[in-house]
Amino acid sequence: LDTTSCTYDKQIHWLSLALSFLFLLAIGANATLLITIQLETSLHKPLYYLLSLLSLLDILLCVTVIPKVLAIFWFDLRPISFPACFLQMYIMNCFQAMESCTFMVMAYDRYVAICHPLRYPSIITDQFVVKVAMFILTRNVLITLPIPTVSAQLRYCGRNVIENCICANMSVSRLSCDDVTINHLYQLAAGWTLLGSDLVLIFLSYTLILRAMLRLKVEGAVAKPLSTCGSHFILILFFSTILLVFVLTHVAKKKVSPDVPVLLNVLHHVIPAALNPIVYGVRTQEIKQGMQRLLKKGC
């Protein structure tokens, strides 16, 4: 099989320690959250089904990206076959878009819960979650499929060395002898369409939530929802911002160090995955209580 290899600056191998910690934290925290929701019947509710989906996506993204990066850092295992590279490319693009869409649905869930509490049980049902899951899967699987497909059709006739630790589309297609304009335009259009529309709807949901909470006259009624939704929104903003910075550094690649987009690309796959179960899970009272009950049963 034709192979390509990833290059990375050896001077920053110390990052592998921090990356290993974040990887173990992300896998451990998300796995704990999934097990808790699965075993604790009181958590078998639509919101926690969505949270389970988010945790599953986080685990799959981390497993797809981080072990290969650590193998490069620790054992200098740079080669990767073209099929494996394009598979990694597809999983990264597809699952990131699915995660963004899940954030959007969870923001809508909070909007209905806070702004229309009496209608919440009739709107956010198990059937709603099934339909949403099918939408998330179908939309993102189909729209992101052309990205690796088009890249795989290109001719690679030069020195196949990726200036990245992972098989990002723009890094791989840059090695091609063919014109990659359509490839890059589709990548940007798909990214802005999927992630951009999700971010607009997320921002709209939290704006309406904030407006509804500020109208509450009961003393102390605003503090808890505001704290919870605020932490959710900050995490989503971080997820979107680091991706935006990554795109901008690619656009202005001549003005920044080549290590910057590489580092951002890797961190984008592990930091949100490590923070999601903490912000969405551990800070949720019902999940805390569910974990405590499971620990008591285990003891």
Question: Which one of 60-69, 128-137, 190-199 scores highest in mean pLDDT?
Answer: 128-137
pLDDT of the residue at 211: 85
Residue 79: DSSP 8-state: E
Q: Report the alpha-carbon angle 167-234-114, nearest 5.
A: 125
Comparing 51 with 230, which gets the higher pLDDT? 51
Residue 248: the pLDDT is 60
Cα 92 to Cα 87: distance, rounded to the nearest angstrom:
9
**Phi-psi region for residue 40, left (φ > 0), alpha (ψ -120 to 50) or beta?**
beta
Single-letter amino acid, residue 152? A
CA quadruple 27, 28, 31, 36: dihedral, nearest 10: -160
Mean pLDDT, residues 98-102 taken together: 93
Q: Of 103, 99, 23, whose CA–CA distance to 63 is shortest?
A: 23
pLDDT at 5: 47
CB atoms within 10 A of CB 200: 11
Q: Contact at 8 Å (CB) between 242 and 270?
A: no
pLDDT at 122: 95
| Contact indicator for 231, 283 with CB cutoff of 8 Å | yes
- Which residue is it, tokens 């930091």? 271
Contact partners, residue 129, CB within 8 Å, separation at least 6: 46, 49, 50
Residue range 3-294, CATH number:
1.20.1070.10
CB 75 within 8 A of CB 155: no
What percentage of the chain carries pLDDT values higher than 90?
34
> Helix or strand or coil: residue 170?
helix
Query: What does residue 166 show for φ and ψ, rounded to 5 degrees?
Result: -130, 170
What average pLDDT score do residues 28-38 get? 92
Q: At what angle do helices 15-39 and 46-75 cross, to 10 degrees?
A: 150
Question: Residue 61 in contact with residue 96, Cβ under 8 Å?
Answer: yes
pLDDT digits (tens, 9 = 90+) for 190-217: 988 888 899 889 889 888 988 887 777 5
| Predicted pLDDT at 1 | 34
**66-94: average pLDDT:** 89
Query: What is the pTM (predicted TM-score) of this model?
Result: 0.87
Give the distance from CA 235 to its chain's centroid.
11
- Residues 6 or more apart whose Cβ sits within 8 Å of residue 170: 184, 187, 250
Looking at the DSSP bridge assignments, the partners of residue 6 are 162
Give the chain's mean pLDDT. 82
pLDDT mean over 34-46: 90
Answer for the pair 261, 249: CB distance below 8 angstroms, yes or no: yes
DSSP-derived secondary structure for 228-293: HHHHHHHHHHHHHHHHHHHHHHHHTTTTS-THHHHHHHHHHHHHHHHHHIIIIIITSHHHHHHHHH
For the segment 111-119, the average pLDDT, to the nearest whole number, is 90
Read off the pLDDT of residues 224-276 as tens digits, 9 standing for 90 and up: 566 666 666 676 766 666 566 656 655 655 565 666 667 777 777 888 888 88
- What are the tens digits of pLDDT across the range 282-291? 667 788 888 8
